Structure 1
């Protein structure tokens, strides 16, 4: 019998993933500049660009190309830790990251539809295989045996790179654990391989409510008609959608671009959730936006966006310290019986103490 990833799917998403470009020298002519240096990067940090994403890239230096095509700058900071968030140290069972008391991440896949050049798990890119059923079962057994775990996040790789039956089997196993009340899924598939989201898959996943899906979008250009159709299918099935965005220098570190992205997400029933500082893994220094600028960008969004479209700016602390929300300083000082508070325009107002 063929493995699930070898079975043909009517939507064609498996074929699409299998036709990915993995060598810079195979890129079309419009993207072929500096091939030798890009090949050197891909030898260290593997490349994967599927035909759908390739169709969105007009230039290696455009907002989509910069996210997926190897860049020589990636080899300028290879001395960083490959696991700065200490995920491996906080893994008490196979495929499990247990950082917070009541919540775990279950890594159900090693594969993604594309390779993002800024991936926090770049260390896993070279693993071509899928996670074995036995390892996933051991992870689920750990969750089942820990009464404090009430929330499970499916991640990877990308959980939607699993076949329908395998993914739904995992969801069913988790839903059968009495203490697990909330399921989440983190994915980039609707943005980079939208045909994967079939009406059948959306309908079948709706049986596992409450199931929340956070989708990784970084730029308005990613919200194509195909991507929006994929998201609408999930939303129509009653699955609440959120977004996670990585703040990337030269791609989306601009208040106008972020406003467009957050509004477009909200108008398509995707609630903006997090904007992340890029994690400090090897090969990502050229993407990093200084925190001071990030705070200024967030302040620039306030007053321009609906409160429903306003995300949280997050950093993930090195060494396994977890996520922390960063906010512009709005409380300026206390003066006797009132506070001085700065609004979104930068104006100072008084607010009574008490």
Structure 2
């Protein structure tokens, strides 16, 4: 005579097989979608080539100032490191005449030189497609939502302060590429001070996001000064940083910087991983330093054609992010910025990804899919349709597996 458990297993075994089948394809392909941690040997070889080319020591490589000073800004040098053809090199030069590019030695080392479709390469290396004039330079109308220099304010209780135009690497899809001029330029203390005074005078502002460019490109002293000034305002509850430094210039996350940040809690950092290959030993270490200082980390991924518009790639990325203590926060639908049309995707692609993630991975790995309303209308979430019908007495839904169920919607 079988036990109760034996009867249960016989009657319900199929449901567990069904669960396994729901992620069977992902389990088969996820090994081919490598993080930088999984492909560390190839990245190490590329790092060694770049260091030899630049005559660098390991100590220099770990110095973010050296990384910034030695960013790759010439098509010929990039071509040498990646083995590009003369035609590809000429195309980079042609794009560079219109749109600036610069790549930190570190981020260049993460690019797979053997894969022309590498998602990291696509983000960093200028493409001839950028000369397509579709789109606008400022589709979000940031200029129209600027009550004070450096500020963009679209919401009642929060705003952003853009404190620099400098980045460790100039992303080819950047929404603010109009700001990336021929020369790097930080906003000075007088300009930043006026922006902070605007916050001080508007008591409904409780949340300030410091961004750029990349906010962490400022020196430690300036960052601490900004934090001191903002923390002196009683109604400022939350200070956030928008930075891609952990991804493109992880050497910037120094002990000194982290010690400054943790003095002014609550501090939040939103970073920007777009592809699993960007999760390397160095980016992991940078994120862990911040997390160990009690700083919550969120990831704002941009959905990009040829980089991550694939449900399995996003699943692998988000699961890997959680292992380095970064919470997937947003998936942004790409903005219609001029020169970025080759990255654009259809909304259906984003919805397919969201529909796949729900139920097939932990809820912590499921971000919010966002489309930015044009001309500054703000972030609008989009979700797959799980609500099929709602009436005065019942509501009908579909589950993540596509099974329909009904709940009572009547208070008796």
Quick check: TM above 0.5?
Answer: yes
- Are 1:243 and 1:272, in contact at CA under 8 Å, matched by a contact in 2? yes
Which residue of structure 1 lines up, in the alignment, with residue 84 of structure 2? 32
Which residue of structure 2 lines up, in the alignment, with residue 137 of structure 1? 193
Segment drifting more, 196-205 vs 160-169: 196-205
- Over 3 Å counting, the alpha-carbon distance change for 1:180 and 1:37 in structure 2 is same
Q: CA deviation at 1:38?
A: 1.8
Query: Whole-Å Cα distance in 1 between the matches of residues 112 and 315 of structure 2?
Result: 23
Which residue of structure 2 lines up, in the alignment, with residue 47 of structure 1? 101
The answer to whether structure 1 residue 224 and structure 2 residue 280 are counterparts is yes
Greater fraction of residues in helix = 2
Q: CA deviation at 1:147?
A: 1.1
Query: Whole-Å Cα distance in 2 between the matches of residues 115 and 346 of structure 1?
Result: 41
The answer to whether structure 1 residue 156 and structure 2 residue 212 are counterparts is yes
The structure 1 residue matched to 2:167, chosen from 93, 112, 131, is: 112
Which residue of structure 2 lines up, in the alignment, with residue 301 of structure 1? 357
The structure 2 residue matched to 1:247, chosen from 292, 299, 303, is: 303
Segment drifting more, 311-320 vs 19-28: 19-28
- Are 1:24 and 1:32, in contact at CA under 8 Å, matched by a contact in 2? no
SS in 2 for 1:26: helix
What is the root-mean-square deviation in Å for CA atoms of aligned residues?
Answer: 1.6
CA offsets 1:25-74 (integer angstroms, 9 cap, x no match) = 22143342311122111111111111001111124531110001000111
Aligned structure 1 segments of 4 or more residues deviating by more than 6 angstroms? none
Which residue of structure 2 lines up, in the alignment, with residue 179 of structure 1? 235
CA offsets 1:97-118 (integer angstroms, 9 cap, x no match) = 1111110101111100100000
Gaps of 5+ in 1: 1-8
CA offsets 1:85-135 (integer angstroms, 9 cap, x no match) = 011110111101111111010111110010000001010111522212211
SS in 1 for 2:405: strand
Segment drifting more, 111-120 vs 199-208: 199-208
Which residue of structure 1 lines up, in the alignment, with residue 225 of structure 2? 169
CA offsets 1:170-212 (integer angstroms, 9 cap, x no match) = 1111111111111011100011111111122112210110110
- TM-score of the two chains, using structure 1 as the length reference: 0.94
- Are 2:111 and 2:118, in contact at CA under 8 Å, matched by a contact in 1? yes
Q: CA deviation at 1:337?
A: 3.4
Q: CA deviation at 1:335?
A: 6.2
Gaps of 5+ in 2: 1-59
The structure 2 residue matched to 1:201, chosen from 243, 257, 267, is: 257
- TM-score of the two chains, using structure 2 as the length reference: 0.81
Query: Whole-Å Cα distance in 2 between the matches of residues 351 and 48 of structure 1?
Result: 55
The structure 2 residue matched to 1:18, chosen from 58, 65, 69, is: 69
Which residue of structure 2 lines up, in the alignment, with residue 4 of structure 1? none
Which residue of structure 1 lines up, in the alignment, with residue 110 of structure 2? 56
Query: Whole-Å Cα distance in 2 between the matches of residues 254 and 175 of structure 1?
Result: 41
Query: Whole-Å Cα distance in 2 between the matches of residues 51 and 10 of structure 1?
Result: 8
Structure 2 matches for 1:263-342, cutoff 5 A? 263-334=319-390, 337-342=393-398
Q: CA deviation at 1:223?
A: 0.7
CA offsets 1:230-265 (integer angstroms, 9 cap, x no match) = 111011111111111011111111111111111111
Q: CA deviation at 1:339?
A: 2.1
SS in 2 for 1:345: coil
